[in-house]
Structures are given as structure tokens and as C-alpha cells.
Amino acid sequence: MKSKKPKIDFPTEIVEEGAVKVLVPKLEAFVKEPWEYAPSKAPVFYNPIMELNRDIAVLALQAYQRMVNREICVCEPLAGCGVRGIRFAVEVDGVKKVLINDINEEAVKLAKQNVQLNNLSERVSVKNEDANLLLSRYAAPRKRFDAIDIDPFGSPVPYLDSAIRALRDGGLLILTATDMAPLCGVHPKACIRKYGGKPLRTEYCHEIAVRLLAGCLATTAAKHDIGVNILFSHSTDHYIRVYAKIKYGATKADESLKKMGYILHCFNCFRRETVNKPFTGGNGNICPECGSKMDFAGPLWLGKIFDKKFCAVIKKEAENAQLKNSTRINKILTLTENEAEAPITYYSLDKICDKLALPTPSVRKVCEALKREGFKVSLTHFNPKGLRTDAPASVITKLLRKPPCNMTSFK
């Protein structure tokens, strides 16, 4: 006997995303003014712009499943209409069970209909609870999940403790942060409160944001004697994503904490360096290049934010997937794979050229010039005008000031 469909009292429509069809709020019905943000006005949160986010999550979860080579159980504790969890169940081979949850009763009604719409009642269950309470129910050793995807509106920090405890040894934790203003240094006090580290408004602030989130995860996990390994991350549109594998054990936690530290930055000559020792700034922090006072970000994660092997597996999965955003996804994955072994932070050519009152040259030509000088260099997905290199800032500025590194020579 078929279960009765819950009554939906607001305008909806069916959309196709990936390999599924889902019932979602009809967003134009909730917008009265052109500038209003439609997803936040609807009774159930659904953001079509985040399809790319969900596409990459599907590919990364499949890569993880291939890595562990067994059936996996997945949880999405902040599900909205359930599209992400439903896509996991349909598009990722080896997913045994998916639990999707939302505290919003209207969202749960929609999610249940979407489970039925995609014939997933046997493998996907829907809960209506507070996310932390739900995750706490699965903290016992034999109940834990293989993967948890936390995609909140704002910061994922309030869910970290319960999510870490609800993951099995070797599990995958996926985090989204959309509160970019604090993470990028616009509201530093809010960032220190939430993430435990000082941000910095630099040209590479989005990388700092990823490292602040990863650092917060590492320190939170360490309290539970758990270490973390960042497999993948990306900064796209209005958010950042971090994919981390957790490993149980006090020794693993200690190893993770050794990767915490600070980034020092000189706003005068663009020099940057990293330190692992306890650091508070102070008057003694003078740039050895130009004598200006250096500012700092941290404590934050100084370890790798991309695992080259994992990036390669995701990229291989993307080649076989039929996704609407495939061109953009392939570009992101190619860049992240190439920058996986590159130095921390990147240089933004337009930022440097603005300060030097020079026209911004081709990034490709600058990369070629640096390689001729014997330096390692790669592009970055964080910024189309950015490059990662082991060349110091003084070499880059010198290169930009002389031919052939000017706009007339680079045409």
C-alpha cells in the first residue's frame, strides 16, 4: 500500500538535476522585488546555483567510495528538499543507505515526496530533527556514517563536534561555508569567534578562508583524539568547500595539530611566509625585505588543501559523468590537481600591477618567464589572475617591471 503524499501548501515545480527529478519551491513565486534573494524567501530552501556544488560532491563521494572499496552509508543533516542526498543515492555506485534530515517540517514533506518520486524508499530515509541531535544519535561505534555532508546557510562550525563523533574511522566529512565576509577579513572578530583564527584581507583571502575552516576542523577533531587529512577543497562563487578524511587516534590528532600555524603578509612588498610556532604579532614582526610591519592570519591549517591522488580520481570520475556543469567542473579539477603540490598562497598579478602602476600582463606569459628563471609555477582555481610559485615576491615585482613582462610585450 502506497503511503499518502504529504500536502504541500506552496507553489512548486519539478526540476531535473544530474540523474534525478525533484520537486522544489517555484522560486519566482516568492520574489516581490528584483533584488530579493529567492531561495531565502521560499518556505523550503533550494538554491539552483549550488548545482555545481552538488555535482562536485557527487563526484568526490564516488571517488571516496572507490578509495574505500565497499558499500557506504551517507548522511545529509541539513537537507532542504533533499536533492543532494537523493543524488548521492542515485548517482554514486556503492551507496547502501542515505539519511536526509531537516528541522523544517515543510522541507521534510518535500523531501519525502522526492524520495518517492525517485523510487528510493528502500534506501533513503527522511528525518525531521535538529541536525546536532540527529548526529548525536549516531555517535555510537556501530551506528556511525561513512560520509556526512554539511551544507548550511552560513557557517558549518556549530555542527562540527556532532558530525565528527558520528563518523566512523576513515570517514569523509564534507563542509560548506558561505559566511565569506568573516572568513575573508571583512568581519575579523566574527571569524575569530567562529573559527578560532584571525583572517586577513589579502588578494588570496579565499585560500585563507579554506585554511581557517580546515584549521577549525582540525582543532575540533583533536579534542576527540581524531586527526584529519584534507583530500580536496575549492572556492566557488559565494562559498568554500572542504573535503576531509578523519582518522581516529591521539597520535593522528597530534600530527594534524603540527600542521597548524600562521601566514605572515607584508602589504607593502607582497612578501609572505609561514610559521608554525605560537605567534601573536607584535612590534617585532618586521618584513626582512622592505622593513615594513607584517600582518598575519591564523592560527590556520598549513598542510595540503588538495590531495593530488584524490584530485586525479575525482577528475577521472568527471570524465565519465554527464553533467550540465562539466566544462566548469573539469577546469576546477584540472587546476586543483596542478596546484596540489604548489607552495602555500598565490600571487594576484592585477593586485601587484595596481600597486606598481603597471598594466596587468598575461598570466600565462608571466608563468613562462618564471619557469625560464628556474622557478616552479602553476595557476590556481582561486583566481584567474593568480599564480602559485616558489619565486619570492621581489622576483615577481622585478620581472613585472622589466620587458618582456609588460603589456606591450605580452600581446
The pLDDT value recorded for residue 409 is 45
Instruction: Measure the CA angle with vertex 165, ends 164 and 166; round to 5°.
Output: 90
The CATH number for 368's domain is 3.30.56.70
The label of the residue with cell 548522511 reads 75
In angstroms, the CA 137 to CA 99 distance is 12
pLDDT in tens, 18-58: 999 999 999 888 877 776 666 778 889 899 999 999 999 99
One-character DSSP codes across 201-253: -STTHHHHHHHHHHHHHHHHHHTTTEEEEEEEEEEETTEEEEEEEEEESHHHH
Q: Which three cell numbers, joined as nine digits, stand for 249?
A: 587516534
In angstroms, the CA 205 to CA 217 distance is 18
| Domain match, 230 and 369 both | no
Mean pLDDT score of the chain:
93
The pLDDT value recorded for residue 404 is 55
The label of the residue with cell 598579478 reads 349
Q: What mean pLDDT comes out for the span 281-305?
A: 89
Whether residue 256 is contained in a domain is answered as: yes
In angstroms, the CA 337 to CA 291 distance is 36
Whether residue 313 is contained in a domain is answered as: no
Q: Is 39 left (phi over 0), alpha (psi -120 to 50) or beta?
A: alpha
State the first-to-last Cα distance of the chain, in angstroms, to the nearest integer.
70
Looking only at the bridges linking them, the beta strands covering 145-150 and 226-236 are unpaired
Q: Is 155 in contact with 180 (CB distance < 8 Å)?
A: no
DSSP assignment, residue 69? T
| Domain match, 277 and 390 both | no
- Rg of the chain over Cα atoms, rounded to whole angstroms, equals 23
Whether residue 7 is contained in a domain is answered as: no
3-class DSSP state of 274: strand
pTM above 0.85, yes or no: yes
In angstroms, the CA 384 to CA 378 distance is 11
| Domain match, 194 and 284 both | yes
Whether residue 339 is contained in a domain is answered as: no
Question: In the listed set 243, 273, 301, which residue is the last one of a domain according to the structure?
Answer: 301
The pLDDT value recorded for residue 283 is 56
Whether residue 54 is contained in a domain is answered as: yes
The pLDDT value recorded for residue 141 is 92
Examine the pLDDT at 3 and tell me if it is beyond 90: no
The pLDDT value recorded for residue 204 is 97
| Domain match, 233 and 360 both | no
Question: In the listed set 266, 301, 336, which residue is the last one of a domain according to the structure?
Answer: 301
| Domain match, 242 and 355 both | no
**105 or 408, greater pLDDT:** 105
Cβ-count burial 353-365 (b if 16+ within 10 Å, e if not)? beeeebebbebeb
| Domain match, 277 and 365 both | no
List CB contacts of 338: < 8 A, sequence separation 6 or more.
Answer: 378, 379
Cβ-count burial 152-166 (b if 16+ within 10 Å, e if not)? beebbbebbbbbbbb
Q: How many domains does the chain have?
A: 2
| Domain match, 360 and 228 both | no
The pLDDT value recorded for residue 39 is 77
Beta bridge partners of 296: 264
| Domain match, 278 and 359 both | no
Q: What mean pLDDT comes out for the span 96-125?
A: 97
Q: Phi, psi (5° rounding) for residue 44?
A: -125, 130
Whether residue 231 is contained in a domain is answered as: yes
3-state helix, strand, coil in the chain (%, to 5): 40, 25, 35
Sign of the dihedral through C-alpha 370, 375, 380, 382 = negative
pLDDT in tens, 184-199: 999 999 999 999 999 9
In angstroms, the CA 16 to CA 28 distance is 17
Examine the pLDDT at 407 and tell me if it is beyond 50: no
In angstroms, the CA 8 to CA 113 distance is 10
| Domain match, 225 and 146 both | yes
In angstroms, the CA 268 to CA 113 distance is 57
Examine the pLDDT at 408 and tell me if it is beyond 50: no
pLDDT in tens, 306-326: 999 999 999 999 998 989 999
pLDDT in tens, 61-75: 999 999 999 999 999
Query: Domain residues for 243?
Result: 12-301
Give the burial class of 38: count Cβ atoms within 10 A of its Cβ; 0-12 exposed, 13-18 middle, 19 or more buried: middle
In angstroms, the CA 304 to CA 314 distance is 17
pLDDT in tens, 112-168: 999 999 999 999 999 999 999 999 999 999 999 999 999 999 999 999 999 999 999
Task: Give the CB-side neighbour count of residue 205, counting CA atoms within 13 A.
Answer: 20
Comparing C-alpha atoms, which of 55, 119, 60 is closest to residue 87?
Answer: 55
Least confident of 14-18, 63-67, 109-113, 277-281: 277-281
| Domain match, 350 and 291 both | no
The label of the residue with cell 540527529 reads 134
In angstroms, the CA 88 to CA 75 distance is 10
| Domain match, 135 and 202 both | yes
The CATH number for 182's domain is 3.40.50.150
Question: In the listed set 247, 281, 301, which residue is the last one of a domain according to the structure?
Answer: 301
Q: Is 151 in contact with 76 (CB distance < 8 Å)?
A: yes
Whether residue 126 is contained in a domain is answered as: yes
Whether residue 350 is contained in a domain is answered as: yes
